[in-house]
Structure 1
Amino acid sequence: MKRLIPAGLLLAITTAHAAEGMWMPQQLPQIAKQLKSAGLKLDPSRLNQLTEFPMGAVVSLGGCTASFVSPQGLVVTNHHCAYGSIQYNSTPQRDLLKNGFLAADFKDELPAAPGSRIFVTEEVKDVTAQVLDAKTAALSGKARVDAIEAKEKALVAACEQDKAYRCRVAGFYGGLQYQLIKQMQIRDVRLVHAPADMVGRFGGDTDNWIWPRHTGDYSFYRAYVGPDGKPADFSPDNKPYQPKHHLKLATTPLNEGDFVMVTGYPGRTQRHRLPQEVDFAFSFSQPTGIRNMLTQLDLIKQETSGRREAEIALAGTVAGLGNASKNMQGQMASYAGSDILERKRKSFEELKTWVNSDAARRAKYGADLAAVESLLAERQALARTESSLRAYAPRLLGTARGLYQNAQQRLLPDAQRKPGYQERDALRLRQGLESQDRRYDAQTDIRLASHFYAKYLAQPAEQLNQPLLKALGLKAGMDEAAVKARLLELQAATQLTDKASRMAWLDRSVADFAASKDAYIAAAVALYEEDERIEKRDKELEGRIDQAYANTMAALLAFKASKGEALYPDANGTLRVSYGHVQGRKPGTDGNDWLAFTTLRGITAKHTGTGDFDAPEAQRKAIEARQFDKYAVKSLDSVPVNFLATLDTTGGNSGSPVLNSRAELVGLLFDGTLDAVISNWDFNPKMTRSICMDARYMLWQMKVVDKADRLLKELNAL
């Protein structure tokens, strides 16, 4: 792992701010002194052993984090991480979204949504030398992208010789370094328990990213394997997986000031982005994204109102759009009036001055430092021109394009196929198509596509993508009503809404596609050449950017090392560890001090009986009767619900276990505060707080309200 940490940085890492940093487990020995000083009672060297306790208990859901909490493969994560499976199993007649779900026995546990996976990380290996050998490093443009992709696919193929595993190659520092990550892939995932919607999602979008918070954001899955103990597709004959390690609930109470750490799979941070990228993000891409998402939310609300089946189908879409748009709005608010861009520009100028002040450094880094800005400007110009086209497209057009691409790729040897269309991807592609009916509403889809296409067609004709217009029968200047009429014609002339018809296209030939009269299949065939042209154009540009960007990051690493400063890599969906303390904030965004804990009192105080604040009657009665059981905290005179901690986290950390100094489970991370989401770009240790669900609230809800005694016994919590 020393390849991932330049030698000059090893000493500097030990002086980094304690609350800052999403550390790779392999880096933790370098900060052992800080971990012990902060309060960790566990031997820090155990945290970098991925197959040992506690890291061996932490798993990925492919977008969220979770952890094993029993010897029988029971997995706990956030309610919003299991939301897709809850939604998939819901109908207006059996509304699990609204009422929650509790399996009475193993046989009653429900299959999770198709494509659900539990990934258990078993090995991480540096493969930079294999990916970026001398020949590949000398390439540029599309040739570079293709060469790196080929190296990655070869490494993955070798890693996946045992079909029980899923492997990936992850890039760090802008493609300067690479890791091969090997994960056991558990395919039979079942929903075990989810609280009622207004427990798991109490406060809804109103309270999203807001403190104080009173949300029971937890749910349980179970991992199943075949009779031989190996990963298998769903079968009644499968048995619960027995993990090598699982987390245990805390045996001591959690208090303000206590050490906590979080282990998980944070998605993406942008802290090392160049000033030009920061400026573009906050002046164009994020404002545009917010407008588009808010428009989608408004149109979905209009089209699904009074149609519960449609509301259930699009519940996950609505939750995702609401979460992302509010996050971006929080970032924009924090960015406005700040000096973030000014500081980024100053830092970049310092880097360029340092490089150009030495002939050897100038020869090594100078050309790429000069080139990267013009290349980024080229990519940003394309993004501005094409942003309205990419805002939304009919769902069935995307389905048809994917199916035709699959047919084209099946003509090639597996190793030459595009990522996403190899044999390793076949099951996921099939399951995605199977689940589409449960997450699609034609009326809403047509309304959304009509709106965004009409906006696109209002642009000057010379800026429009003529192959797209021809393939769909659209014309420049068409208004929304005319576009809608055309899309309704296409909808009436396709069979992709029928599951059996849609699935049949997975096995059909390119000739079958070319001969088809299905409206969307024909459109996909007509657009294929144009899609390939755009993909090649983008690859050429990305390859040139990647080469310059990687060397710019190399210069930045060297510059920081020369000053004795650390530069941990941005989050990229790989396993990380953050640590800090349970701590409120003085003052909060409202001018009032933020206490470290909220309690059950806040639920009844916020309850209105409508919208985002409609706590279940059984829960309210238990609170009003002060049925606290053994979960009350004397100093709070109630049961703790959520708590704040100085943990450095981001999206993807949702569902991550929050552990105390002995690596015992004290809660689940599920959110951050709105004024601190800017930390994805610019870390601020004074403001940054993560919002966590207290495990004592989860256990109280399960025992007192939901009567989940079977699970509590399994958790050794009765």
Structure 2
Amino acid sequence: MKKWLIAAAVAASFGAHADEGMWQPYQLPSMAAELKAKGLEIDAKSISKLTEFPMNAVVSLGGCSASFVSPKGLVVTNHHCAYGSIAYNSTAENNRLKDGFLAKKYSEELPASPGSRIYVTEKVTNVTDQVKAGLDGVTGDAFYKGIENHRKELVAECEKEDGYRCSVYSFHGGLEYYLIKQMQIRDVRLVYNPAGSIGKYGGDIDNWMWPRHTGDFSFYRAYVGKNGKPADYSKDNVPYEPKSFLKVSAKGVKEGDFVMVAGYPGRTNRYRTSVEVENQFEWTYPHSKALREDIINIIKKAAPEGSDDRIKYESTLAGLANYAKNYGSMIEFYAKSPLLADRKAREAKLTAWIAQDSARQAKYGAALTNLDRLVTQAQQHKERNLILGYLGYSRMLSTATRLYRLAHEKQLPDMQRESGYQNRDMTRFTQGLQRIDRSYAPKVEKAIVFDLLQRYAKLPKSERLDAFDQFFGLENGLNKAKLKQRLDSMYADTTLANSKTRLGWMKKSVADFKASDDPFIQYAVAMYDTNMKREQESKQRAGDFMKARPLYMEAIIAYNRSQGKPVYADANSSLRVTVGHVQGYYPQDGLYAVPFTTLEGIEHKDTGKEPFDAPKKQLELIKQQKYGEYYMPEIGSVPVNFLSTLDTTGGNSGSPTLNGKAELVGLLFDGVYESIIGDWGYDPQTNRSIQVDSRYMLWVMKYLDGADNLLEEMDIVK
């Protein structure tokens, strides 16, 4: 499939499906006329130029999105995106998660959690031909390794320039590959976060719900060396001066206004087959939801509210709860929706279209059948894989495993090492080990592992792993008392809980690991051969998928083009742009959700108890109708959150929501309950994104937290 074919399909179909689609920046010039008609006031070509305004003001945090909002490297993102850094800087005695934090000057800003990064995308290059070169007749594991080797070569060449992080991203299931070059800012500092009763108002109860009244925003600052280049943390570093930054609108938007978002959406699955849809919704989501909820309960029982252990696990709890509710919504709306039937109907139409032409039949005839066969094979050990996957919540098991793998990989030349274990990865590797100090409590982890091992022990013998059974004494079935004793001994005797010891293992040899009496190191050694065998099998499947899915996607794209339907790649954490309008929706028959919430809504929800425990000062300001210059006449108050038709997903959190002039009018932080299934299919009637309004952000900063220094630093447009 040629790039021009996808671009042509965009141009032909955009007008009819304008609010659907997470577009790659290079696609936007072909939409210029439609974008202008919708309300875009800047040149559409400028959005495709990553080194110019506004795109060079939009950044990634590696899991969330953000943007520069001052000439001194001030970055705004969601409160929940900065949550890990806030928790890292919190203790039971100084709980910044609960009380908030504001640095009034540079010297008071706090280092973000180890490994925090700000990525500024500067260049995107189509490298499909280079990645696939010489691999036409290759399959399976050899194809996987061939692709990976070409990727590593491209990345190594790109990263010769110091201060950059490069990655090769797959689009359309491997149909296309793009090399993305990002400046990597390594000194990131926490500047300001409102109290948890603002930033997380409504908590898990309101998560994914409307009406919403959450002040989900926080600020970082990017620092670099005195030469202006990325550098590790140092007190001598200076604030980064971005090439451009976003102006913040105090005027905001009103119902019907054009908005757009530039950000880094995580993953969508709109081109998955019906077999994949059925397995995901009828098995994976239900089992994952139940497992997450059980782990939440285990953590809460083991770590009482307000304890230092609870603070260490607050970020983990937030992530578990977020996706447990997400999965619940997925399951609920799948049961009501025609998603599976629609996917089967699409495949039937695709098959019929292919059959109408002998050339299409020769090229695409077996594409769907081959892909479904691989999908079915990949699901064979799904229950075991789910349990072992959630064992990743064990810092000790996963750390020991990764350290021993590193010892093996260090025996190879750098370019032959597995991704994640190359020299370029060692700073991240080190900082990941450092973060454990503020996210690990042995009592809590031991309870999680004990529960998961009991689940594992109930699997059929054919599904269990011999080495795993032998290490934990499960060969003859489960003996809870002995298993508990085994775990008690492991957590009591390990030295990996000590940061200095953990870091020291990065320099150890394979022989050192084999000679160790640390129980978790012994686990890593005992499981190594089994893990490598499973990884080899996984790479074989991955290689087969990397051959099969691109052919299926090529057929889908060609078919969609023939039908005048939009062609955009599934989200893959790369920079995308979406466009839409401020608009409410009908969540159910007879009920209309208006597009704005107000300060008064905070007061109406307030119970004085978490998560509806607004600060007393805030409630008093609301009673006084202290609106200031952020008053919106159409709603008679200050807007708190608003709805839009923007097509977004996880990873878009923290994305700047922009008006037609590319001024920041809000931060995207969530979607409505009815649209969570949008990861699998866009519904214009219910797909709504939720933004915190820029006027509420400014109101909180000025009247509640006295963040005058930051207000003066930003360019606020009235």
Q: Quickly name the TM-score band, shorter chain normalised.
A: over 0.9
Q: Deviations over 1:475-514 (max 9, x none)?
A: 4432544422211111122111111111110111111111
Q: CA deviation at 1:369?
A: 3.1
Whether the 8 Å CA contact 1:454–1:477 is kept in 2: the answer is: no
CA offsets, 1:536-573, max 9 Å, x none? 01111121122111111111112222333332110110
Deviates further, 421-430 or 483-492: 483-492
- Equivalent residue, structure 1, for 2:238: 239
Whether the aligned pair in 1 keeps the contact of 2:595 and 2:643 (CA below 8 Å) is: yes
Corresponding residue SS for 1:547: helix
Q: CA deviation at 1:33?
A: 1.4
Name the structure 1 match of 2:356. Answer: 357
Q: Which residue of 2 aligns with 1:199?
A: 198
Distance 1:415 1:199 in 2: 47
* Aligned residue number for residue 289 of structure 1: 288
Which amino acid counterpart does residue 647 of structure 1 have in structure 2? L
Residue 16 (structure 1) shift: 3.7
- CA–CA distance in 2 between the matches of 1:257 and 1:717? 23
2:213 maps to 214
Structure 1 partner of 2:69: 69
Look up the match of 1:689.
688
| Residue in structure 1 matched with residue 621 of structure 2 by the alignment | 622
Secondary structure at the counterpart of residue 81 of structure 2: coil
Q: Who is 1:468 aligned against?
A: 468
One-letter amino acid of the counterpart of residue 385, structure 2: E
Q: 8 Å contact 2:247–2:716 — kept in the other structure?
A: no
Q: Is residue 527 from structure 1 mapped to residue 527 from structure 2 by the alignment?
A: yes
How far apart are the structure 1 equivalents of 2:305 and 2:582?
Answer: 43
Partner of 2:439: 439
Look up the equivalent residue of 1:658 and give its one-letter code.
T
Preserved CA contact (<8 Å) 2:630 2:638: yes
Aligned to 2:118: 118
Q: Paired residue for 1:572? A: 572
Match of 1:430 in 2: 430
Deviates more, 1:635-644 or 1:155-164: 635-644
Maintained 8 Å contact 2:250/2:694: no
Structure 1, unaligned stretches of length 5 or more?
A: none
Residue 638 (1) aligns with residue 637 (2): yes
**Structure 2 match to 1:649:** 648
The alignment partner of 1:485 has SS state of: helix
The answer on 1:91 being equivalent to 2:91 is: yes
Q: Relative to structure 1, is the Cα distance of residues 103 and 251 closer, same or farther in structure 2, using a 3 angstrom cutoff?
A: closer
Matched letter for residue 81 of structure 2: C
Q: Is the 8 A contact 2:72 2:239 kept in 1?
A: yes
Instruction: Give 1:619 deviation, angstroms.
Output: 1.4
> What are the within-5 Å matches in structure 2 for residues 407-426 of structure 1?
407-426=407-426
Deviations 1:448-484 (A, max 9, x none): 1111111211223333211112123344432544422
CA distance in 2: counterparts of 1:172 and 1:352, whole angstroms: 23
Deviation for aligned residue 1:614: 0.8
The answer on 1:557 being equivalent to 2:557 is yes
Deviation, structure 1 residue 372: 1.5
Q: Secondary structure at the match of 2:17?
A: coil
1:338 is aligned to 2:341: no
Counterpart-to-counterpart distance in 1, 2:383 and 2:432: 31
d(CA) in 2 for partners of 1:175, 1:99: 46
- C-alpha change, 1:369 and 1:377, in structure 2 (3 Å) is same
Aligned letter for 1:170? Y
Return the offset for 1:114. 0.3
Partners of 2:564 and 2:697 in 1: how far apart? 44
- Cα distance, 1:102 vs structure 2: 0.2
Q: Describe the shift of the 1:285–1:642 C-alpha distance in structure 2 as closer, same or farther (beyond 3 A).
A: same
Deviates more, 1:116-125 or 1:1-10: 1-10
One-letter amino acid of the counterpart of residue 297, structure 1: I
How much does 1:40 deviate?
1.0
Displacement of 1:590 after TM fit? 8.1
Q: In structure 2, what is the Cα distance between the partners aligned to 1:6 and 1:75?
A: 34
Cα distance in structure 1, aligned partners of 2:8 and 2:639: 45
Aligned to 2:46: 46
1:33 aligns with 2:25: no
What SS does the aligned partner of 1:305 have?
coil
Compute the displacement of 1:589 (Å). Answer: 4.0
* Structure 2 counterpart SS, 1:506: helix
Shift of 1:592: 2.6
Residues 410 and 685 of structure 1: CA distance in aligned 2, closer, same or farther (over 3 Å): same
TM-score when normalising by structure 2: 0.97
Where in structure 2 are the equivalents of 1:315-394 lying within 5 Å? 315-392=314-391, 394=394
Task: Give me the whole-angstrom Cα distance separating, in 2, the residues matched to 1:35 and 1:480.
Answer: 63
Residue of structure 2 in register with 1:313 after alignment: 312
CA distance in 2, matches of 1:668, 1:2: 35
Deviation digits for residues 645-668 of structure 1 (CA, Å, limit 9, x no counterpart): 111000000000011111111110
Cα displacement (A) at 1:34: 1.3
CA distance in 1, matches of 2:535, 2:259: 45
CA deviation map 1:21-40 (0-9, x unaligned): 11111000111111111111
Residue 9 of structure 1: aligned partner: 9
- What is the Cα deviation at residue 306 of structure 1? 4.5
Judge conservation of contact 1:97–1:196 (CA < 8 Å) in 2: yes
Q: Which residue identity lines up with residue 311 of structure 2 in the other structure?
A: I
Q: Distance in 1 between matches of 2:619 and 2:25?
A: 42
Question: Could you tell me how far apart the structure 2 residues matched to 1:298 and 1:591 are?
Answer: 37
Identity of aligned residues (%): 47
- Counterparts of 1:137 and 1:259 in 2: how far apart (Å)? 45
SS at match of 1:523: helix
CA-atom RMSD, angstroms?
A: 1.6
Give 4+ residue runs of structure 1 displaced > 6 Å after superposition.
Answer: none
Q: Match for 1:156: what amino acid?
A: V
Whichever residue aligns with residue 298 of structure 2, its letter is: L
Taking the aligned partners of 1:14 and 1:494, their CA distance within structure 2 comes to: 58
Q: Please name the residue that 1:404 is paired with.
A: 404
| Deviations 1:121-177, CA, capped at 9 Å, x for gaps | 0000000000112x2132110001000000000000000001210000000111111
**Contact 2:269 2:570 survives alignment (8 Å):** yes
Counterparts of 1:517 and 1:115, CA distance in 2: 30
Match of 2:22 in 1: 22
SS in 2 for 1:298: helix
The alpha-carbon distance between structure 1 residues 7 and 188, as it changes in their structure 2 partners (threshold 3 A), is: closer
CA distance in 1, matches of 2:284, 2:467: 25
Find the aligned partners of 2:502 and 2:183 in 1 and give their Cα distance: 30
* Residue matched to 2:266: 267
Does the 8 Å CA contact 1:450/1:481 hold for their aligned counterparts? no
User: Would the aligned equivalents of 2:32 and 2:44 in 1 still touch at CA under 8 Å?
Assistant: yes
CA positional deviation for 1:622: 1.5
Q: Secondary structure at the match of 2:366?
A: helix
Query: What secondary structure does 1:33 align onto?
Result: helix
Code of the aligned partner of 1:339 = P
The answer to whether the Cα contact below 8 Å between 1:457 and 1:476 also exists between their aligned partners in 2 is no
Is contact 1:4–1:177 with CA below 8 Å preserved after alignment? Answer: no
Displacement of 1:375:
1.2
Q: Contact 2:312–2:439 (CA<8 Å) still a contact in 1? A: yes
Q: 3-state DSSP class of the match of 2:271?
A: coil
Alignment of 1:258 with 2:254, yes or no, is no
C-alpha distance in structure 2 between counterparts of 1:663 and 1:650, whole Å: 21
Describe the superposition over 1:626-677 as per-residue Cα deviations: whole angstroms up to 9, x where unpaired: 2222111233222110011111000000000011111111110000001111
Shift of 1:691: 0.5
Offset of 1:198 from its aligned partner?
A: 0.7
Deviations 1:3-55 (A, max 9, x none): 27436525423334121111111000111111111111111111111111111
SS at match of 1:658: strand
**What SS does structure 2 have at the residue aligned with 1:93?**
coil
Comparing 367-376 with 84-93, which one deviates more in the overlay? Answer: 367-376
Mapped to 1, the partners of 2:603 and 2:664 lie a distance apart of: 27
Query: CA-to-partner distance for each residue in 1:433-462, whole Å, 9 max, x for gaps?
Result: 011010011111111111111121122333
Q: Does 1:680 align with 2:679?
A: yes
Q: Deviations over 1:164-206 (max 9, x none)?
A: 1000000011111100000000000000000000100000000
Q: Name the CA distance, whole Å, in 1 between partners of 2:7 and 2:318.
A: 44
**Count of matched residue positions in the alignment of Structure 1 and Structure 2:** 716
* Distance in 2, Cα, partners of 1:458 & 1:513: 31
Does the CA-based 8 Å contact 2:7-2:30 persist in structure 1? no
Query: Matches of 2:604 and 2:524 in 1, distance apart?
Result: 54
Q: Which residue pairs with 1:512 in the alignment?
A: 512
**Paired amino acid for 1:630:** E
1:367 positional shift? 3.4
